[in-house]
């Protein structure tokens, strides 16, 4: 099992599709378009921050259990990243310390169940890094209205806070082998760029 990780707009869905096609395996995607809370969160993060994180935690837990039950798959985001988003929402004042404690208790219970599985950790985590400007361009290009930062909605500050938090998260990730790709350097829609990227991923898989 390979998991993708990275900032909103870093390219996880595109990389997941390319990897699953290359490996002939099943892609697993986090629920976005069918998420009943996500657009509401962007409109009112104080009200919907905790509900959104519980929704994502539940869905990511179900997805990773399903992925662990099958061989050879790729996830575009996993439960191992979930706490970072919740922590940022706590620091931004969108989630209370009491809610955070409830969230962490639930997460611990879920992680204990995962640890009891026959296979309990990813074979490789691929972290998609990149410049902040490059990631903001990606968010603009994919055109989800509720994701677009404006002077009024404060999303640029949220994105910057999340972006600045990812370095420590990657450094502290210890569930298994990991690698980082700096996405500014590659356009994986171009065959030569994808060949370079896939060679790096394949080498990391063989090294584990």
For the chain, the C-alpha Rg in angstroms (whole number) is: 17
Whether the full predicted model's pTM is greater than 0.85, yes or no, is yes
The whole domain housing 141 covers: 2-207
From CA 6, how far away is CA 129, in angstroms rounded?
6
Confidence of residue 208 (pLDDT cuts 50, 70, 90): low
CA distance 196 to 190: 10
CB atoms within 10 A of CB 153: 15
Q: What is the pLDDT of residues 33-75, one digit of tens each?
A: 778 999 899 899 999 999 999 999 999 999 988 888 887 899 9
Q: Is 30 annotated as a binding residue?
A: yes
User: Cα(204)–Cα(88) distance, rounded to whole angstroms?
Assistant: 30
**6 a known binding residue?**
yes
Instruction: Point out the catalytic residue in the list 76, 92, 133, 157.
Output: 76
Establish whether 12 is an annotated binding residue. Answer: yes
76 is catalytic: yes
Q: Is 147 annotated as a binding residue?
A: yes
CATH number of the domain bearing residue 56? 3.40.50.300
pLDDT tens per residue, range 167-197: 999 999 999 999 999 999 999 999 999 999 9
Closest CA to 83 of 106, 116, 62, 65: 106
List b or e across 103-132, with b for residues whose CB sees 16 or more CB atoms inside 10 angstroms: beeebeebbeebeeeeeebbebbbbbbbee
Q: How many domains does the chain have?
A: 1
Question: Is the per-residue pLDDT at 16 higher than 70?
Answer: yes
């Amino acid at each position: 099992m390979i998991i993708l990780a990275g900032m909103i707009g870093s390219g996880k869905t595109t990389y997941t599709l390319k990897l699953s096609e290359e490996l002939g395996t099943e892609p697993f995607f986090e629920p976005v378009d069918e998420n009943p809370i996500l657009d509401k969160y962007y409109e009112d993060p104080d009200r919907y921050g905790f509900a959104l994180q519980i929704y994502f935690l539940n869905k990511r837990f179900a997805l990773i259990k399903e992925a662990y039950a099958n061989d050879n798959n790729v996830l575009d985001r996993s439960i191992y990243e979930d706490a970072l988003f919740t922590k940022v929402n706590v620091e931004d004042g969108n989630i209370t310390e009491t809610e955070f404690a409830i969230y962490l208790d639930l997460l611990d219970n879920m992680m204990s169940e995962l640890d009891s599985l026959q296979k309990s950790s990813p074979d490789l985590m691929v972290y998609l890094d990149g410049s902040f400007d490059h990631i903001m361009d990606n968010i603009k290009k994919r055109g989800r209205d509720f994701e677009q930062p404006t002077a009024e909605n404060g999303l640029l500050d949220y994105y910057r806070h999340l972006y600045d938090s990812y370095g420590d998260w990657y450094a502290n990730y210890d569930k298994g082998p990991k690698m980082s790709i700096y996405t500014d350097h590659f356009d994986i829609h171009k065959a030569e760029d994808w060949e370079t990227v896939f060679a790096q991923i394949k080498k990391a898989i063989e090294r584990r």
